Amino acid sequence: MKNASPLPKEFLSWQVALRHHTMVARNGAPHVGVVPVVAVRRPGGQLGVSHHSIVCGLLPHERVLEAKTREFRNLYEGSIEAGARKVYDVGVEYLIDDYYASTDAFDPTSLTSLVPRECSLVEALRSDPTCSLIFNVFEISDPDALGNPRCTQVDCIVEILSEGEIFENVWWHNTLFHGKADEQVVLRFVHRRSWDNRFGGQVALRS
């Protein structure tokens, strides 16, 4: 997409490390650091915006995207006869192994989320695809400074996808942990700029 720029390297490294931590220490339960608030334009609303929470994901780099989608699907189809719990456990093991080994394995320009096709967030983004993701974290019990105070604003433009390689990847990834979901779309948040908004300030972050 035009006007896309790489996410700040420190932010992407933090996201990768945080996700590996949640697989190892939390058996895949999402950390607040992967559940940003999305701020979208909402004419007539308070301040002209509305806010929505989502769980966001990292997108595999385009050079491995198709292969990762195939692996997600094979894991699901090879385990589902043993039940949803078996699929979940196999998914966690796969992600622990080496999936989050390096930032180089991921698209440096975007984040994703799978959401219902008909919801207030999608409605707002269809009218205006610009938005901001707010990652607000303060978890002092986390190891390796993963939960240090953070209020990162990621300004994006959104693609709403109901088919294609990116949709298939995110859908099959989600299916490993939550089962098959109908009437969903993938939101691809394409990065434009980022800010450090901690403690009342606003400082631009370099990509």
- Residue-wise pLDDT tens digits, 72-108: 999 999 999 999 999 999 999 999 998 999 999 999 9
Q: Is 94 exposed, middle or buried (0-12, 13-18, 19+ CB in 10 A)?
A: middle
Tens digits of per-residue pLDDT, 51-79? 999 999 999 999 999 999 999 999 999 99
Domains of the chain: 9-196 (2.30.110.10)
Beta-carbon neighbour count of residue 9 at 10 Å?
13
Strand ranges inside the chain, DSSP E: 37-41, 49-53, 57-60, 106-116, 130-137, 150-161, 184-196, 203-205
Poorest-pLDDT segment among 36-40, 41-45, 103-107: 41-45
Beta-carbon neighbour count of residue 54 at 10 Å?
19
Instruction: State how far the Cα of 54 lies from the Cα of 30, in Å rounded to an integer.
Output: 11
> Where is pLDDT greater, at 142 or 113?
113
Q: Is 114 exposed, middle or buried (0-12, 13-18, 19+ CB in 10 A)?
A: buried
Structure tokens of 51? 């806010």
pLDDT at position 1 is 61
pLDDT at position 2 is 61
